[in-house]
Amino acid sequence: MNPLIDQFKKYGNLSFELETELKSKIKFLKKQKGDFLLKSGQVVSNLFVIKKGLVRYFYQSNEREINVWFGFENTTLGSIMPLFFDKPSIENIQFLEDSTLYYISSNDLNELYKKSLEMNIIGRKMAEEYCKILEERSFSLQTLSAEQRYNDLLKNQPEVIQRISLGHIASYLGISQETLSRIRKK
């Protein structure tokens, strides 16, 4: 089965004709650990889903990397600025493991949105979920303690400890590695 089509089906029904058209437009990509899907300033306007592997989104500020998000298997991803606004990305997306992805170009996606009400609804629902995730992340960073953020991360993504370095986790939580070590000892 195609994991990108599976993701679309989580948000609505696909007619046989639409699914057939999607299959003809979806492509496959393999990347190695350490490779970049996207670097800040680039325009890569595709919507991806991870079949196998792991990525991190991060910003660079004053020689420091700030991790803002991790994507695991069956995660839909893409950089918002290039994908929806055809502008250069302000973030980097790097592979933390050898990975395989399926993707569709934003041009093909936009054509399907114009032609298909069902695809348009799916796209809207996906965007709504992304907004929810961003709001929850913002709330977490502004109102929860470092320990609460760490516990929430473990609860919602337990595989994070086995697959992501403590340095990346600390950056994601907005704390130092020393603080993370103290939290983990509790």
C-alpha to C-alpha distance for 164 and 96, rounded to whole angstroms: 8
**Side-chain half-sphere exposure of 183, counting CA atoms within 13 A:** 20
**CATH code at position 40:** 2.60.120.10
Is the per-residue pLDDT at 71 higher than 90? yes
CA-to-CA distance for 177 and 175, rounded, in angstroms?
7
Q: What is the pLDDT of residue 27?
A: 97
With respect to residue 97, please indicate whether it lies within any of the assigned structural domains. yes
Per the rule left: phi > 0, alpha: psi between -120 and 50, beta: everything else, 34 is left
> Distance between terminal CA atoms of the chain?
43
Q: Does 136 reside within a domain?
A: no
Of 62 and 98, the one with more pLDDT: 98
pTM: 0.91
Give me the domain span that covers residue 34.
Answer: 3-114
Residue 79 lies in a domain: yes
Sign of the dihedral through C-alpha 27, 32, 34, 35: negative
Q: Do 50 and 93 form a contact (C-beta atoms < 8 A)?
A: no
Residue 99 within any structural domain of the chain = yes
Examine residue 148 and state whether it is found in any structural domain, yes or no.
no
Give per-residue pLDDT as tens, 15-65.
999 999 999 999 999 999 999 999 999 998 999 999 999 999 999 998 899
Number of domains present in the structure of the chain: 1
Instruction: Indicate whether 122 belongs to any domain.
Output: no
Is residue 76, in this structure, part of any structural domain at all? yes
The verdict on residue 19 lying in a domain is yes
The pLDDT of 138-155, averaged and rounded, is 94
Q: How confident is the model at residue 112 (pLDDT cuts 50, 70, 90)?
A: very high
Write the CB contacts of 12 (distance below 8 Å, at least 6 apart in sequence): 118, 121, 122, 125
- The first and second tokens of residue 161, run together, are 């400890």
* pLDDT of res. 1: 79
- For 176, phi then psi, to 5°, come to -80, 165
Name the residue among 2, 66, 77 with its Cα closest to residue 38.
77
For residue range 1-18, list pLDDT tens digits in order: 799 999 999 999 999 999
